[in-house]
């Protein structure tokens, strides 16, 4: 194996990328499967188990709490375990991350569907049985999602070394991510789910699972690792064997970085806002606007249009201003727009604010992969070895706390406002106010606070970023 590993581009010795556009598109399409899982799960699962299945809201919240705790444990642990060195023969033959991504994606699509076929709440089936089914299946689903997501993100850092490459992959990935959200929220859910018809949710989940499997075929070409990338992995693993980097050392090093810390805090706040908003959508359309959920499609379309209008603007601005600045500003603006859910009374108002929200969402999303890759590079430079999947797992450890917040917030609001879980019920004014609060006010506060904190603390830019990149080059050449 060559001692000098190219750090900047695909297979090019001078650092220029040789990755074709088709390769970039295929790789970035992984974000489609990632987003349809999160979009469907985030919008449907809490409502499905509370209202359609009839599981007590307190038990749904407890399941979410245990789910969040499991997430916090399994994300960094699975990332670390699957990052362990493997034989040079197997890596050079199959790749380092390719088999992990493929296998986890297929298993994820299967278990995802099973989440939505719990036992019927009739014929003697008790609440505890349904609760245990929900808990076990969502935890199993998340284990496969963790492996998939960790190596998807880590592979991006390793395969695409140049800022320009990362920018391109990030832009394509966010397009696929939005397409995934669009497919679920504008096509599948509005056209298939019916309030009070549990089987309609099962059908929608089945269709989503099949789409995921087709996506696996699409990205299977993009994730194939070149010889140079495999050698780059193995170079880092040789250093890991020599230096004997422990799991706790990776955790301590990453948490000592203020840039890593503020990123995960801000992203946790973003994840709480994002997941809480989407978990509230069925409630908002049904109980606040009193309209068929089919209108959700038009809201997402408005968001979609705003996103694609905003994306080129924010990408152009990222050439002038630091990516981290665009990222933080985007979160603040996005958060302010959430407050509109306190006063929206018609679908037309909703569509207008969803359009503006799409523009704001494009800011942070367009540079997310770029910012995250730089942050991971900073930790790698400090460690002297590759642990990107572990770092993604540590990041997910904190981000998955969002599910705990979502479960607790919705349950507490519904209990305090006397929300009626009957799918055909008309809610009292206090319960409607509660839905407005967990749809807009709380998500908005989290986003604004997180974005402002990120802007004030994160400083991996300019000369500091240049020095970090040089340090990384020197380490990998040793």
**Residue pLDDT, tens place only, 343-398:** 988 889 999 999 999 999 888 877 777 777 777 777 777 766 666 666 766 777 77
Flag whether pLDDT at 6 surpasses 50.
no
360 CB-near residues (< 8 Å, 6+ apart): 310, 330, 333, 334, 337
Domain count, the chain: 1
Residue 314 is assigned to a structural domain of this protein: yes
Name the pTM for this structure. Answer: 0.67
pLDDT grade for 16, boundaries at 50, 70 and 90 = very low
Other Cβ atoms closer than 10 A to 265? 16
Residue 237 is assigned to a structural domain of this protein: no
Residue 3 is assigned to a structural domain of this protein: no
Q: For 194, phi and psi rounded to 5 degrees?
A: -130, 130
Write b or e for each residue in 79-103: b if 16 or more Cβ atoms lie within 10 A of its Cβ, otherwise e: bbebbeeeeeeebbebbbbbbbbbe
Flag whether pLDDT at 7 surpasses 50.
no
Mean pLDDT of 221-232: 66
Share of the chain above pLDDT 70, in %: 77
In the predicted model, what is the mean pLDDT of the chain? Answer: 79
More confident residue, 12 or 470: 470
More confident residue, 169 or 406: 406
Residue 12 is assigned to a structural domain of this protein: no
CATH number where 103 lies: 1.20.1250.20
User: In this structure, which long-range contacts are made by residues 304-307, counting pairs with CB atoms below 8 Å and at least 24 apart in sequence?
Assistant: 304/178, 304/182, 304/186, 304/358, 305/355, 305/358, 306/354, 306/355, 306/356, 306/357, 306/358, 306/359, 306/361, 306/362, 307/178, 307/358, 307/359, 307/361, 307/362, 307/365
Residue 408 is assigned to a structural domain of this protein: yes
Mean pLDDT of 206-231: 80
pLDDT in tens, 274-307: 888 888 888 888 888 888 777 888 888 898 899 8
List the domain range (segments joined by +) for residue 449.
21-232+243-477
Please report the pLDDT score of residue 135 as a whole number: 92
Flag whether pLDDT at 15 surpasses 70.
no
Residue 273 is assigned to a structural domain of this protein: yes
Tokens of 41: 């799960």
Q: From 292, 266, 200, 257, select the one nearest 381 (Cα to Cα).
A: 257
């Amino acid at each position: 194996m060559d001692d000098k590993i190219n750090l900047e581009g695909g297979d090019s010795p001078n650092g220029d990328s040789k990755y074709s556009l088709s390769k970039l598109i295929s790789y970035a399409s992984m974000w489609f499967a990632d987003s349809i899982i999160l979009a469907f799960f985030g919008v449907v699962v809490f409502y499905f188990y509370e209202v359609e299945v009839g599981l007590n809201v307190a038990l749904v919240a407890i399941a979410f709490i245990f789910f969040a705790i499991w997430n916090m444990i399994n994300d960094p642990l699975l990332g670390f375990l699957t990052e362990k060195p493997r034989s040079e023969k197997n890596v050079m033959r199959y790749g380092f991350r390719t088999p992990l991504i493929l296998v986890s994606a297929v298993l994820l699509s299967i278990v995802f569907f099973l989440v939505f076929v719990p036992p019927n709440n009739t014929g003697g089936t008790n609440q505890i049985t349904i609760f245990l089914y929900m808990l076990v299946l969502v935890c199993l689903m998340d284990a496969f999602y963790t492996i998939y997501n960790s190596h998807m993100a880590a592979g991006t850092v390793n395969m695409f070394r140049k800022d320009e490459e990362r920018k391109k992959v990030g832009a394509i990935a966010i397009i696929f991510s939005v397409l995934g959200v669009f497919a679920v929220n504008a096509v599948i859910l509005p056209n298939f789910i019916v309030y009070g018809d549990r089987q309609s949710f099962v059908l929608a989940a089945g269709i989503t699972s099949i789409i995921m499997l087709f996506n696996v075929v699409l990205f299977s070409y993009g994730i194939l690792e070149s010889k140079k990338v495999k050698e780059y992995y193995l170079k880092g693993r040789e250093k890991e064997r020599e230096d004997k980097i422990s799991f706790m050392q990776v955790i301590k090093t990453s948490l000592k970085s203020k840039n890593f810390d503020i990123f995960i805090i801000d992203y946790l706040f973003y994840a709480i806002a994002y997941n809480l908003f989407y978990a509230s959508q069925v409630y908002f359309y049904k109980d606040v606007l009193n309209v068929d959920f089919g209108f959700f499609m038009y809201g997402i379309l408005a968001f979609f249009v705003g996103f694609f209008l905003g994306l080129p603007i924010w990408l152009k601005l990222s050439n002038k201003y630091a990516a981290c600045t665009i990222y933080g500003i985007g979160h603040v603006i996005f958060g302010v727009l959430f407050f509109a859910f306190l006063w929206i009374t018609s679908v037309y108002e909703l569509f207008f604010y969803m359009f503006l929200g799409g523009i704001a969402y494009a800011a942070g999303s367009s540079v997310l992969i770029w910012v995250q890759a730089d942050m991971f590079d900073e930790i790698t430079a400090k460690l002297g070895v590759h642990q990107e999947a572990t770092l993604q797992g540590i990041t997910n450890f904190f981000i998955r706390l969002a599910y705990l917040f979502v479960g607790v917030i919705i349950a507490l609001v519904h209990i305090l406002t006397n929300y009626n879980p009957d799918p055909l019920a008309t809610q009292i004014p206090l319960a409607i106010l509660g839905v407005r609060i967990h749809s807009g006010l709380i998500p908005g506060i989290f986003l604004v606070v997180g974005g402002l904190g990120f802007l004030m603390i994160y400083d991996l830019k300019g000369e500091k970023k240049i020095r970090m990149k040089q340090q990384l080059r020197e380490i990998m050449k040793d």
